[in-house]
Structure 1
Amino acid sequence: MDAKKIAIIDLGSNSTRLVIEELHSDRKYQEVYRVKEDTRLSQNMGTDLLLRPEPIRRTIAVLKDYQKIISGFTVDQTFAITTAAVRTAKNQKEFLDQVLDETGIQFRVLTGQEEAHYDFLGVQAALPDVKAGIILDTGGASVEVIPFENGKSAAEVSLPFGAVNLSEKYSLASDIDLQDVQKASLAIQADFSKLDFVQNFQNHPIILLGGANRSLAKMAEKQALVQKSKKLHGFMMPANQVTEIFNKISGMSRSDREHLAGLEKSRADIIVSGLLPVLNLIKVFTAPQVIFSESGVREGLIESFFETEEKKEL
Structure 2
Amino acid sequence: MGEVVAALDAGTNTLRLLVVEQDADGRLVELDRQLRFVGLGQGVDATRRFSDEAVQRAWAAVDEYVPVLRRLGARRARFVATSASRDASNRDEFFDGVARRLGVVPELISGDEEAALSFTGALAGARIDGEPVLVMDSGGGSTELVRGSASGVIDGAESLDVGSRRIRERYLLSDPPEPGQIAEARAEVGRLLDGLGVDLGGITTFVGVAGTVTTMAALNLGLTSYDRSLVHGSSMSVDEVVALAERLLAMSVDEVIALGPVQPERAKVLCAGALVVAEVVERVGVELQASESDILDGIALSMLRDGKGQVLPG
Same fold by TM-score greater than 0.5: yes
CA distance in 2, matches of 1:263, 1:98: 30
In 2: Cα distance, 1:293 partner to 1:77 partner: 25
Indicate the residue corresponding to 2:292 in structure 1.
294
CA distance in 2, matches of 1:33, 1:283: 35
Determine whether 1:176 maps to 2:177: yes
Q: Which of residues 294, 298, 305 in structure 2 aligns to 1:307?
A: 305
Q: CA deviation at 1:281?
A: 0.7
Contact 2:62/2:101, CA 8 A, preserved across alignment: no
Distance apart, 1:8 and its partner CA = 1.6
> CA separation of 1:102/1:26 partners in 2, compared to 1, >3 Å: closer, same or farther?
closer
Offset at 1:196?
2.8
> After the TM superposition, which residues 162-201 of structure 1 pair with which residues of structure 2 at under 5 Å, given as runs?
162-172=163-173, 174-198=175-199, 201=201
> How far apart are 1:97 and its partner, in Å?
1.9
Question: Which amino acid counterpart does residue 234 of structure 1 have in structure 2?
Answer: G
What pairs with 1:5-154 in structure 2 (closer than 5 Å)?
5-127=4-126, 129-130=128-129, 131-149=131-149, 151=151, 152-154=153-155
Distance 1:229 1:95, change over 3 A: closer
1:255-270 to structure 2, matched below 5 A, reads 255-270=254-269
Q: Given the superposition, is the C-alpha separation of residues 248 and 95 from structure 1 closer, same or farther in structure 2, using an over 3 Å criterion?
A: same
What CA distance in whole angstroms lies between the structure 1 residues aligned with 2:219 and 2:25? 36
- The letter of the residue matching 2:126 is L
**Per-residue deviation, 1:295:** 1.2
- For 2:312, the equivalent position in structure 1 comes to none
Name the counterpart of 1:159: 160
* Deviation readout 1:16-59 (Å, 9 max, x if unpaired): 11121122342112111121110010001133311111100111
CA deviations 1:70-91 (Å, max 9, x no partner) are: 2222122122111111122111
Q: Deviations over 1:134-179 (max 9, x none)?
A: 2110111111111224533221211112111111001346221022
Q: Distance in 2 between matches of 1:150 and 1:72?
A: 35
Residue type of the alignment partner of 1:180: Q
* Residues 171 and 230 (structure 1), Cα distance of their counterparts in 2 relative to 1, 3 Å cut: closer
TM-score, with normalisation over the residues of structure 2? Answer: 0.89
Q: CA deviation at 1:186?
A: 1.1
Please say which of residues 169-178 and 291-300 is displaced more in the overlay: 169-178
Could you tell me which amino acid in structure 1 is paired with residue 289 of structure 2? I
- Cα distance in 2 for partners of 1:229, 1:104 equals 31
SS at match of 1:231: helix
RMSD: 2.3
Aligned residues: 303
Q: Secondary structure at the match of 1:70?
A: helix
Give, in angstroms, the shift of residue 125 of structure 1: 2.9
SS at 1:17 equivalent: strand
Distance in 2 (CA, whole Å) between partners of 1:126 and 1:24 is 15
CA contact (8 A) 1:10 1:18 kept: yes
Change (3 A) 1:203 1:106: closer
Secondary structure (helix, strand or coil) at the match of 2:232 reads coil
Q: How far apart are the structure 2 equivalents of 1:177 and 1:230?
A: 35
Whole-angstrom distance in 1 between the partners of 2:228 and 2:90 = 43
Greater CA deviation, 168-177 or 271-280?
168-177
What does residue 312 of structure 1 align with?
A: none
Displacement after TM superposition at 1:298 (Å): 1.5
Contact 1:39 1:59 in 2 (8 A): yes
Could you tell me how far 1:231 is from its partner in structure 2? 2.8
What is the rounded CA distance, in whole Å, between the counterparts of 2:304 and 2:223 in structure 1? 40
Distance 1:39 1:215 in 2: 17
Structure 2: which 5+ runs fail to align?
A: 308-314
* Change in 2 beyond 3 A, CA 1:105/1:197: closer
Give 1:243-262 correspondences, 5 Å limit: 243-262=242-261
**SS of the residue aligned with 1:47?**
helix
| Structure-2 change in CA distance of 1:223 and 1:233 (3 Å) | closer
Amino acid at match of 1:186: A
